[in-house]
Structure 1
C-alpha cells in the first residue's frame, strides 16, 4: 500500500502542477486581453476541456483497468486499443472540422469558427496520447504520465501567453493561436511518452484470444465513456454555459454581455483547483482496486473517499470565503465575487461525484450513473434558462451549484451501502461540516480584520491571500486532528501528514 500511494502522489502532484498552470495562465491572459478577449477564448474552451478530460483521466483510467484485469490477453488488448485510438482521433478531428461553423453559431458568435476548427488537430492526437498513458498506468508506472502532463501544459501555456502578448488587440486571431497550442502540446506529450520503455506483454495463446475491437468498443461505451464524462463534469457544465449564458444575457438585454460572461468564466479555473486532488486520487486507484481482495478494497475506498472530500471541501469553502481577495489579486477587481464564490462551492459536490463514480466503476456498478449524469446536465440547462434572465451570472453560478448537488445526491443513492456508510462512520460528515463552517467564519473574520488597515487593492490582496491561506491550513489541520476527522492511515497519505503525526502524536488522530 505504501508503494501504491507513493505512485499515486507522483500523479497527484503532476496533476496539481498541471491544474495550477491551467489556472495561472488565465491570470495573465485575462490581464492582457481583458474580459472580452477572455470571453472569446473561454467560449470555445469546453471543446478542449472535454477532450482533455478524456486524455488526462477518463480514457487512461479505462485503459489501465482493461489491461490490469486481463493479463493473459494484455498484448492483444494493447494493439486493439492503439488501433481504436487512431480511428477515434481521425473521426473526431473530421467531425469537429466540418461542424465548426454550426458550433460557433450555436454559441451565439459565428466569428468563433476558426477557434473551433483549429482544435480538430488536438482531437486527432488526444486519443493516442490517452491510450499510451493508460498502458503505463496499468503497469503502475505513473512517471511517464506525470512528465507528459506537465510538459504538455507548459508548451500549451507558453503558446497561449505569446499569442496574448503579440495579438492582444486582435481577439479572435489571438484565440485561434491560443487554442492551436493544445495540439502542439499534445504532440510534445506523445513524443515524451514514446521516449519511455513502453510495457510490452507476452503474446497470448491463440485459444485464449477473445477481446476484439468491437468488444473493447462496447466496453468503452458502457464504462470508459461514462468515466471520461464524469472526469469532466465541470467542463460539461461549462459547455452548457457556452451555448446558453451569453445568448441568455443578450436576450435579457444585459449590457456588455461578452464582458459579463468573461467575468463569469474566471470561476471555472478556480473550481478546478479544488477538484484536482480528488480526481488525481481517483485516477490511479482503479488498477489497485481491481486486483485487491474484498477487505483491502473496502479500506482503499474509505481512504480515497475521506481524503478526497476533506481536501475538496477545505479548498472550495476556503476559496469561496476568500473570493473578493482572490478575484482582485488574479483579475484586477472584485466584480461579481459572490457569483464566483457560489460557483466554486460546486467543486465539493463534483469531487464527491467523481470519486463515487470511480469507486463504483472499479466494481462494475456504474451503469445506473448514466441517468444521474443526464439528469444533472438537463438540470443545469433548465436552471440556466430560469435563473439567468432575472439574476444574470449569479443565476448561472447558482445553476451550476444546484446541478452539482443534484448529481451528488443521485450518486449517493446509487452507491452501495458501504460507500454511503463511509460518509457517516464515526460522524465523519458532521465533523467535516463543522470544520469547513469554522473555516468559512475564520476567513471572513480575517477579511474584516484586514479592512481596518487598508482598502482592498491588488497589493493588499497579495498579503491577505498569502497569510490567510497559511492560517487556514493550520486551522484545518488542528481541528481535523483534535476532532479525529481522519484515521492514522488517512493522515499518513496526506502530504506532510506523517510529519504532523510525529509532531502531535497519534493519540488523538485515530477516528
Structure 2
C-alpha cells in the first residue's frame, strides 16, 4: 500500500469520523437540555450492557477480517479473502442474534438488581436489536477495511449517525411527556434505526464490489479447509474480543461503583445520577472528539502493518509506526491542551454547565493518551500480537477501577476522582503498549519532530488562547469569547508548527488531492 493510499484511507475515515463525532457531540447538547442530568444518566446506563453484549457478539472478528483479508490479498488470493469474510459474517450474525435475545430476556433483572433503577429497563429493551445489526455491519466494515477500501465504511458511519441522532432527538421529545425513562429509552432506540441504515448502505456497496471483482473471486484449485480458517480467525479475534470487553465492562463498573461511592461521599441519590450524567454524558464526549483522527489512523494502520508483515518488510513496519505516532502527537497535544485551558468556558457554552469544567480539565490529557493507545494498539494488532493490547489495557483498567473506588468516595474529590482514575489508567496502558511496539519494531523515534516541536507549538497556542479569552470574555460574553479563543488557537498552533518545522512541505505532499498544492505554497514561502 503506497504512502498516499495509506493516508487517503486514514483521511477518508478521519473526515467521516469527524462528521460523526461533531454530530454526536452536538446532539447531546439539545438532548441534555431536553431530558436533563437525570435523563442523561438513564440514557448512559443502558449503553455499557449493550457494549458488553455487542463485543461478545462480534468477538473481535472485524479486526481479524481486516488482518486476514489484507494478508490474503497481499498474496493475490482474493477468493480466500472472500471466504474469510463470508465465514465471519455467518458467525457474527449468529452471535448477534443470540445476544440480542439474551438482552431482551435479562433486561428487567439487570435494571432492578444491577442498576437498582427500574427505569433503565426500557432503555435496555430499546437498544437490544442494535446488537444484531451492529454485529453484521461490523463484518462488512472489516472486509472493506481489509481491502483498504474505506469509502463504504465512512459513508455508512455518516448515514448511521445522521439517522441515529434524528431518532434520538425525535423520540426523546415525543416520549418525554410519558416520563424520563421513556424519553431515555426512545433515545437509545436510535442505535437500531442507525444500524438499519448503515446495513443498507454496506449491502449496496458490497453488491457493487462483488460485481467489480467477480473474476478475482472465482475458486482456486487448492483452498484452505474451513477448520484452518476458523482457527486463524479465532486465534486473532479472541484476544481482541477480550480486549473489547474490557472497555464496556469498565463502563458497567463505572455505572455501579461511581454512583455507590458518590453516595458514600454524601450526595443524594438524585445528585449522584446528575454527577454520573455529567461524567459519562457530558465530559467523556468532549474527550472523545479529537481521537477520531487517531482511531482512523489506527484502522488504516492494521491492514498496512499486516501486509508489510506478510511480505516480511520490517523497514516498512518501522516507518509506518513512526509516521502514525508523529500524526498522533501532532493532533493529540494541542487538542488536549486546548480542552484543558478552555474546559469551563466550553462546558458553559455547550451545556450551560460551567461546573463540569474542572472535571473536563482533569480528563483533558486522556485526549492524547487515547490517541496514543489507539495508534499503538493498531500497530500491535497489525503485527498479529492482538493479545498484548488486551493485557495492557486490562492492567490500566484495574488501576483505574481501584482508584475510582478510593478517590470518588473522598468528598473533596467526588466525581473528579473518576477523572484522575481515568487519566492514570490510560497512562499505564499507553506506556506498556509503547514498550512492546518499540520491542518488536525496533523503530527509532524522531523526538524533536514527533514530540518537542508539537509541544513548543502547543505551549505558544495555550498562551495565546488564554490571553484572547480573557480579553474577549468580558465585552463579548462567554460563547463568542470561546469561539474566538478556539479559532485563535487553531491559527496560532498551525502557524507555530509550520514555523518551527514540526510540519514540512514534504509532510503535506502525502495528503491526497490538495497535498502537493499545499506543499508548493509552503515551499514558495520557504516554510
Q: TM-score, normalised by structure 2?
A: 0.87
Describe the shift of the 1:421–1:296 C-alpha distance in structure 2 as closer, same or farther (beyond 3 A): closer
Structure 1 gaps, min length 5: 455-459
Contact 2:380–2:388 (Cα < 8 Å) also in 1: no
Aligned to 1:107: 115
Aligned length: 501
Contact 1:481–1:508 (Cα < 8 Å) also in 2: no
- Of 367, 379, 393, the residue aligned with 2:387 is 367
CA RMSD of aligned residues (A): 2.8
Contact 1:237–1:400 (Cα < 8 Å) also in 2: no
Contact 1:75–1:204 (Cα < 8 Å) also in 2: no
Shift of 1:501: 3.6
The separation in 2 between residues aligned to 1:435 and 1:417, in whole angstroms, is 30
Aligned to 1:83: 90
Aligned to 2:483: 466
1:365-444 aligned within 5 A? 365-390=385-410, 391-417=413-439, 422-426=444-448, 428-444=450-466
Aligned to 1:277: 293
The separation in 2 between residues aligned to 1:51 and 1:306, in whole angstroms, is 35
Deviations 1:60-108 (A, max 9, x none): 4431221121243223212211111111112221232233234333234
Contact 2:473–2:480 (Cα < 8 Å) also in 1: no
Contact 2:137–2:199 (Cα < 8 Å) also in 1: yes
Deviations 1:127-159 (A, max 9, x none): 111111222222222221111111111111011
Contact 2:321–2:443 (Cα < 8 Å) also in 1: no
Aligned to 1:503: 521
Contact 1:349–1:405 (Cα < 8 Å) also in 2: yes
Aligned to 1:450: 472
Describe the shift of the 1:128–1:198 C-alpha distance in structure 2 as closer, same or farther (beyond 3 A): farther
Describe the shift of the 1:428–1:144 C-alpha distance in structure 2 as closer, same or farther (beyond 3 A): closer
Contact 1:57–1:283 (Cα < 8 Å) also in 2: no
Note if 1:481 corresponds to 2:489: no
- Of 304, 323, 346, the residue aligned with 2:324 is 304
- Of 60, 64, 67, the residue aligned with 2:66 is 64
Q: TM-score, normalised by structure 1?
A: 0.90
Aligned to 1:457: none
The separation in 1 between residues aligned to 2:53 and 2:304, in whole angstroms, is 26
The separation in 1 between residues aligned to 2:400 and 2:91, in whole angstroms, is 32
Shift of 1:506: 7.9
1:63-462 aligned within 5 A? 63-71=65-73, 72=77, 73-104=80-111, 105-169=113-177, 170-196=179-205, 197-199=208-210, 202-205=217-220, 207-212=222-227, 214-225=230-241, 228=244, 233=247, 237-255=250-268, 256-265=271-280, 266-292=282-308, 293-390=313-410, 391-417=413-439, 422-426=444-448, 428-453=450-475, 460-462=477-479
The separation in 2 between residues aligned to 1:202 and 1:337, in whole angstroms, is 54
- Of 17, 36, 60, the residue aligned with 2:38 is 36
- Greater alpha carbon shift after TM alignment, 52-61 vs 325-334: 52-61
Describe the shift of the 1:308–1:229 C-alpha distance in structure 2 as closer, same or farther (beyond 3 A): farther
Deviations 1:264-296 (A, max 9, x none): 230111111011100011112222232233333
Contact 1:35–1:259 (Cα < 8 Å) also in 2: yes
Deviations 1:400-435 (A, max 9, x none): 111111111121222224868554533632333333
What's the secondary structure of 1:253's corresponding residue? Answer: coil
Shift of 1:494: 5.8
